Structure 1
Amino acid sequence: MRRFLRKWHRDLGYFITGILLIYAVSGIALNHRKDWNPDYSVVSESIQLKKGEWKTYSSEEIGQLLQQFEAAPVYKKHFNSDEGVVKVFVENGMVIFDPTGGQAKLELLLKRPVFYHINKLHMAATLKAWVWVSDVLAAILIFVALSGLFILKGRNGLTGRGLWLTLLGILLPLFFIVFYIS
């Protein structure tokens, strides 16, 4: 039985290593959501224009305004708000233009390379097919965890040191459940 478990433990362990590394990196990023947004980054840019330079706020004038930003925002549409500012909708963001003050501020919300995609996988917020892949991964993890308990025997196996480490691994999350999650 140990020979069978060792073979499958090894092969399935190799198979899931890449996925686990991606999950681990994503997990660290998601654990620190309060410190940063792991999915998006915000690009802000301001420019100063001459007061009263703009008159009609046509699509052409707004296009000229947008060309002055380094981020090269892509125009979608705009409107004059009741507060006297022009709100310009651009791809992935917005420009607020105050013609009386001559100030234009751009804010873009951009997907973080790599992190956006691996976080979506981690949270199974993608195709239904990935939910099945992650369920299979979970089943393989259960098998690898349980088979690992029985591969070694003696003082390093489940009847010795392995028992204490396994119990510690169970007690740690239970400690946080009991004392920190209500």
Structure 2
Amino acid sequence: MTTKNLKQATFGGGCFWCTEAVFQEVNGVEKVVSGYSGGHVPGHPTYREICSGLTGHAEVVQVTFDAHIISYEEILVIFMTTHDPTTLNRQGADKGTQYRSVIFYHNEAQRVISETVVKRMQPYYESPIVTQIAPFDVFYEAEQEHQDFYKNNPDYGYCTFVINPKLAKLKQMHANKLK
């Protein structure tokens, strides 16, 4: 029996509902939690507060994964190819710093891998990648209604028109990494 080698990755690629839905499909991912990180206002922010854009927090997911099954680098490649890392503070119709593309690294190894992956991915995009790479500080779990949003609301308009195409792209590009 192999012992699990659980690690964490924290990043934001626009609305956390999308990013959460993507990583819940990835083999080796044990848990995905939607939340907030990267802000400058003390205390646990609420969804309403971060949507104001005034707290500095980004909508993020915290992914717990088994590094024996999938590497941090592979996680980042999936992240970079399932959202648009070239739009500053925006993903589709979602606008504001809370929707920025950001990788919060948990240690020096993750920082180096993050920088390497972003550089390696740049030739695949016409515009410059604007994904922020920053040290992880604190993660605040989002309210319960934001957890497992796609699983609980697959027919919701946002899920149909925004998340379904991202999941189709995931299946097309990373079929060998899915559960």
- Please say whether Structure 1 and Structure 2 have the same fold, judged by a TM-score greater than 0.5: no
What is the TM-score when the length of structure 2 is the normalising length? 0.19
More relative contact order in 1 or in 2 (CA 8 Å, sep 6+)? Answer: 2
| Richer in helix (by share) | 1
Higher percent of residues as strand? 2
Q: Highest CA radius of gyration, 1 or 2? A: 1
